[in-house]
């Protein structure tokens, strides 16, 4: 394995660490940085390499949807000369790796955690492919994109129609000649659709309930307005939807070619065939829900509401900003198509872009709800010694992104430091050296 940390295997010679961090992406590296700042002894286990998902699980033309100025890893903001731009995949990898080189985390790559249980001693027992360890605190920073979602009825699709998940899509040339159906209109779905469309491929798109957002409005990038308006400071406990905000699909737009918004109606005018949500597959016959019109309208309603909020902010603060024409629909479906013969339409491949499920089965602790989702308050689990980091809306919208992960990591590191100090005082060992207090 080509690693940034060739000497790190010596960290495996120990069997106990006060803190173990699982995952060496931006979340794991961020908590490691703040643990170091607090003088807390720890190790980071990364089953692949630093920045693995950015390097290996994205398509060739992938770029950030959020502008570069939002990249704010701890004491390591975006270093380039294009803060308004959108980093490409290789640039994202370099940004994360540069942060790792600067912070020199105690990380071991190629170590996968297989089981976490509560031992008889009360400590957490951590089994890995590199041996068995114990810890008092474990931070799960693996993200929630473990299992690609593909519906069970996809198994009935004929073998001559290739099907892949978005995580395995790389470029238009990697798909067989013919027309392509992309299922899902979240951020990945619409960007893959555009990637195929720009390459001259004939594309069909199943449009789901994902909302959309303006890119530039009234003279400024929309995320700049939202930042100034305090949207990114809104915490989950103050969100109008409460915990349900975590289940909402992200607004779709793109950072491609300098960034622009995505209006699926315009793509329909350019030849992309739109359908509602996928409902079933019977052989080569594809069935859809009658929700295309509603999903397009709902996405536009969110788009218009964001513009309206910006308008109100501009008016309330007397800001001089250029006016823009009201939004108008450029295309409306005559009917909501319910069926399509894939063979007759010339569809030779399907790209599933309907998301992922987390997989926490390796954590054998009572820390999850009935759907397998972790329970926590700003990352702190009700199970003593267990923490989660890097998940969407862990605390704010930016929690699962480069924008907010540093604040969440700082909070968790501070919480762990306090708990280690309290345990040291209770045991009579003093609290001057958190890293040694529970070793």
- For 91-150, how does the pLDDT look when each residue is reduced to its tens digit (9 = 90+)? 999 999 999 999 999 999 999 999 999 999 999 999 999 999 999 999 999 998 899 999
Q: What is the pLDDT of residue 436?
A: 38
Place of tokens 């643990």: 35
Per-residue confidence at 2, pLDDT binned at 50, 70, 90? low
Alpha-carbon gap, residue 91 to 55, rounded angstroms: 10
Q: What is the pLDDT of residue 246?
A: 87
**Averaged pLDDT, 170-186:** 98
The lowest-confidence range among 4-13, 266-275, 351-360, 424-433 is 424-433
pTM as predicted: 0.94
Alpha-carbon gap, residue 356 to 359, rounded angstroms: 9
**Averaged pLDDT, 20-42:** 98
Q: List Cα–Cα distances, 268 to 172, 193, 263, 331, in angstroms.
A: 19, 12, 9, 7
Q: List Cα–Cα distances, 252 to 120, 140, 194, 298, in angstroms.
A: 48, 28, 12, 13
% of the chain at pLDDT higher than 70: 96
Structurally, what CATH architecture does the domain formed by 149-352 represent? 3-Layer(bba) Sandwich (3.50)
Q: What is the pLDDT of residue 438?
A: 32
**Angle between helix 26-37 and helix 405-427 axes, rounded to 10 deg:** 40
| Domain edges within the chain | 8-146+358-437, 149-352
Q: What is the pLDDT of residue 243?
A: 87
Place of tokens 């737009």: 253
**Comparing C-alpha atoms, which of 361, 363, 407, 405 is closest to residue 383?**
363
At 277, phi and psi to the nearest 5?
Answer: -65, 145
Place of tokens 């693996």: 142
% of the chain at pLDDT higher than 90: 91
Q: List Cα–Cα distances, 42 to 7, 234, 243, in angstroms.
A: 16, 31, 31
Alpha-carbon gap, residue 250 to 184, rounded angstroms: 12
**Averaged pLDDT, 5-28:** 92
Q: What is the pLDDT of residue 244?
A: 86
Q: What is the pLDDT of residue 428?
A: 79
Q: What is the pLDDT of residue 7?
A: 65
Same fold across 8-146+358-437 and 149-352: yes
Per-residue confidence at 435, pLDDT binned at 50, 70, 90? very low
Q: What is the pLDDT of residue 433?
A: 46
Alpha-carbon gap, residue 105 to 101, rounded angstroms: 8
Q: In what order do the strands lie in the sheet with 179-183?
A: 162-165, 347-352, 179-183, 203-206, 273-275
- Fold of the CATH domain 8-146+358-437: FAD/NAD(P)-binding domain (3.50.50)
Report H helices in 106-229. Answer: 187-198, 222-228
**Averaged pLDDT, 304-326:** 98
Per-residue confidence at 207, pLDDT binned at 50, 70, 90? very high
Note whether 420 and 434 are within 8 A (CB): yes
Alpha-carbon gap, residue 433 to 439, rounded angstroms: 11
Note whether 138 and 389 are within 8 A (CB): no
Q: What is the pLDDT of residues 49-63, one digit of tens each?
A: 999 999 999 999 999
Q: Report which secondary-structure segment, H or E, holds 347.
A: strand 347-352
DSSP code for 56 = H
The lowest-confidence range among 228-232, 238-242, 413-417 is 238-242
The lowest-confidence range among 103-112, 162-171, 318-327, 426-435 is 426-435
């Amino acid at each position: 394995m080509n690693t940034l940390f060739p000497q790190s295997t010596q960290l495996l010679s120990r069997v106990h660490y006060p803190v173990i961090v699982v995952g060496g992406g931006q979340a794991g590296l961020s908590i490691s940085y703040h643990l170091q700042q607090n003088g807390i002894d720890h190790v980071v286990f990364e089953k692949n390499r630093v920045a693995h998902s950015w390097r290996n699980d994205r398509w060739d033309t992938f770029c950030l949807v959020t502008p570069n100025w939002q990249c704010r890893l701890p004491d390591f903001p975006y270093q380039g000369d294009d803060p308004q731009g959108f980093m490409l995949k290789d640039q994202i990898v370099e940004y994360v790796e540069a942060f790792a080189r600067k912070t020199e985390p105690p990380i071991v790559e190629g170590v996968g955690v297989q089981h976490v249980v509560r031992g008889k001693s009360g400590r957490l027992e951590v089994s890995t492919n590199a041996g068995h360890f114990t810890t008092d605190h474990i931070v799960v920073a693996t993200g929630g994109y473990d299992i690609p979602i593909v519906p069970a009825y996809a198994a009935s699709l004929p073998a001559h129609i290739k099907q892949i998940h978005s995580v395995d899509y790389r470029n238009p040339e990697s798909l067989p000649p013919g027309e392509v159906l992309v299922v899902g209109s979240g951020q990945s779905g619409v960007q893959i659709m555009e990637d195929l469309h720009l390459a001259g491929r004939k594309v069909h798109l199943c449009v789901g309930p994902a909302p959309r957002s303006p890119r530039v409005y009234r003279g400024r990038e929309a995320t700049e307005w939202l930042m100034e308006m305090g949207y990114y400071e809104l915490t989950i406990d103050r969100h109008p939807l409460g915990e349900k905000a975590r289940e909402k699909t992200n607004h779709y737009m793109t950072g491609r070619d300098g960034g622009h918004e995505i209006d699926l109606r315009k793509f329909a005018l350019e030849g992309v065939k739109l359908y509602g949500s996928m409902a079933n597959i019977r052989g080569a016959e594809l069935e859809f829900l009658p929700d295309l019109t509603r999903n397009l309208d709902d996405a536009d309603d969110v788009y218009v509401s964001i513009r309206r909020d910006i308008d109100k902010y501009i008016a309330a603060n007397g800001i001089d900003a250029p006016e823009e024409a009201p939004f108008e629909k450029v295309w409306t479906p005559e009917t909501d198509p319910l069926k399509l013969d894939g063979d007759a339409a010339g569809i030779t491949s399907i790209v599933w872009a309907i998301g992922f499920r987390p997989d926490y089965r390796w954590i054998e602790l009572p820390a999850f709800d009935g759907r397998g989702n972790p329970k926590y308050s700003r990352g702190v689990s009700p199970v003593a010694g267990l923490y989660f980091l890097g998940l969407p809306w862990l605390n704010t919208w930016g929690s699962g992104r480069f924008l907010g992960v540093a604040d969440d990591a700082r909070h968790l590191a501070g919480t762990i430091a306090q708990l280690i100090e309290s345990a040291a005082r209770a045991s009579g060992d003093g609290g001057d050296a958190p890293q040694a207090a529970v070793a």
